[in-house]
Amino acid sequence: MSELEELGDPAAEPLSRSTRVLEAVHRARNRLLSLQTPLGWWKGELQTNVTMDAEDLLLRQFLGIRDEQVTTESARWIRSQQREDGTWATFHDGPGDLSTTAEAYTALKLAGDPADARHMRQARQFVLDSGGLERSRVFTRIWLALFGEWSWNRLPVLPPEMILLPSWCPLNIHDWGCWARQTAVPLTVVSATRPCRDLGVSVRELRSGSPAPQAERLPSWVGAFHHLDRVLHAYERLPAKPLRRLSLRKAEQWILDRQEADGSWGGIQPPWVYSVLALHLLGYSPHHQVLQRALSGLEGFVIRERGDQGWVRRLEACQSPVWDTALALTALLDTGTPPDAPEVLRAVDWLLSQEVRKSGDWTVRRPGLRPSGWAFEFANDTYPDIDDTAEVVLALRRVRHPDPSEVAQAIHRASRWVQGMQCIDGGWAAFDADNTRTLCEKLPFCDFGAVIDPPSADVTAHVLEMLAMLGDTGSAQVRQAVRWLLEHQEPAGSWFGRWGANHVYGIGAVVPALVAAGLPTSHEALRAAVRWLGEHQNPDGGWGEDLRSYRDPDWIGRGESTASQTAWALLALLATGERGQPLLRGVDWLVATQRADGSWDEPQFTGTGFPGDFYINYHLYRLVFPISALARFLEANDAQQP
């Protein structure tokens, strides 16, 4: 009888907790190794929502390249994600979302679904009950305006002249977060050209007829920008605009200069598709080499698989090989895998090959800093990110490479770059330094997603942990980071999680970092975090936090238990030396819910793109974080043995 069978046999002699955990780690490690590619990297699916697929069909319709196979397979996927109530959500088991449902409905109608079909009637009724297209986000209405289904006159103006603003001027493009500026610049071209092409169908039945929301009154900034938008609309009606031609040329070159080797812009969907639209509107045909690279690159983000009704096609919003590989490498090393094992060295060599050695937009705020770091994606040399770089360094410092100097030099370059990207307040953001001007958030255009990149607790924590592990615990930068984290602790004891869901993620990142930096485990901030975890543990022993916590405080720390969030809680408890029932119950929950293949089920989304708006299910999270948590539990147990 196998040990797996013995675990499920009530008549068998019960295995000790340590044995069960060891077996679980062994199964999970084998599963993780089976997912490594021959080149050494890992990449789990990055699952988001069906707006990616709806907008892909609309893009192809606009360019005149939509074909029947892509349409049929994409429509199958979109239909498969519709819920019983006729809506589409932005995350698993989340509430129906107006804009997502409107875009899905539009795509399905484009694909030939009749408006009187039951699933279409349900979706339409939800849209109308929610206020109709009039209440949808700006991005949704931009897509409809491209086809004459919404008036450009009823959209905020985003003038291309903004690209001429110098970096010291408010609302210049570098005041936007990197993902927002890469989206805003091409959208200025779209806004200026105001195209209208044939959709082939109409979705005017999604309009409720409700009036536009009243603009806020002066003297608020929001009110001021709504009045400014009226002025800009008047400007757009002028027959001559002295700076328009120059600004369009500048925007065109700005976009061209930032196309990545894989054809993308930033390796993410929004700037990618809007850059394609902008260049096409400036005269680039779909057969031009720039757009050919862009469209071919998009195909690399497509996942095709056979579903119940036939082949389905879905598009990833982004891909995360560097992030996944760094986390997977850390998980492997946590299991006791030799630091010079072949699978470890393959991962290290691939990571070393991905170091970014050229300057990007971040140099506007840090002009004298030598480039280094790692990006999230396969190809994104313009925007390396601090979070990925910290995690890569944390993994690299533990390996034993045949050329140790190569690894040491990469770590040195990367750590110097990260240190140079510290914000003036002592924290770290994801992509830029001191990207904290909030004025652009007040623009009528900015009704969806984060548009600036301020410091966050999770990124700051990962950098702090990296610096501490490199032995830099006494520096002024480390002291500033510790102070920043302590100042940003929530009153109840948690930390806001910017890039993961949500307060559980914040605690899972911050607590190990503070301990690594030398904060005593008796410190009140750490004790408060431990209490918070105990108070928010589920009856089944796991932890979970629903993404509604970003908008509704009643959901903070509440949600169905998930493998990744339970692992984050355990990593925090282990770092503080906790060995009581909350820890043991969490460990037992992970062991009991492990699948036979070594992984865990996790349909819930536990990653965050834009808090409150856009969420991610990282398919590798359900494996790498539980491995690290369980392996570190075993290590702590071994350390306690006499």
Q: Which residues are designated catalytic? A: 387
Cα 305 from Cα 221, distance rounded (Å)? 48
Length of the chain: 642
- Cα-based torsion angle of the residue sequence 111, 115, 120, 125 in order, rounded to the nearest 10 degrees: 140
- Decide: residue 114, CB within 10 A, 0-12 exposed, 13-18 middle, 19+ buried: exposed
* DSSP codes, 309-360: TEEEEEE-SB--HHHHHHHHHHHHHHTT--TT-HHHHHHHHHHHHT---S--
Q: In which residue are the tokens 């490498």 written?
A: 329
At residue 315, φ and ψ (nearest 5 deg) are: -115, 130
Residues β-bridged to residue 303: 314
CA of residue 20 relative to chain centroid, distance: 34
Q: In which residue are the tokens 């679980």 written?
A: 24
What's the angle, vertex CA 445, arms to CA 362 and CA 129, rounded to 5?
Answer: 135
Q: Tell me, what DSSP letter sits at residue 541?
A: S
Q: Check: CB of residue 184 under 8 Å from CB of residue 176.
A: yes
Q: Tell me, what DSSP letter sits at residue 312?
A: E
At residue 313, φ and ψ (nearest 5 deg) are: -130, 130
3-class SS of residue 530: helix
At residue 344, φ and ψ (nearest 5 deg) are: -70, -45
Cα 264 from Cα 146, distance rounded (Å)? 22
Q: Check: CB of residue 510 under 8 Å from CB of residue 529.
A: yes
576-to-105, 480, 632 alpha-carbon distances in Å: 50, 21, 12
Task: Please give the structure tokens belonging to residue 588.
Answer: 């037992």
Q: Which amino acid is at 244?
A: R
Cα 320 from Cα 328, distance rounded (Å)? 12
Give 581-625 as a 3 state SS string: HHHHHHHHHHHHHECCCCCECCCCCCEEEECCCEEEEECCHHHHH
Cα 435 from Cα 195, distance rounded (Å)? 33
Cα 589 from Cα 340, distance rounded (Å)? 32
Q: Which residues are CB-contacts of 605 (< 8 A; sequence separation ≥ 6)?
A: 47, 91, 92, 94, 501, 547, 615, 616, 617
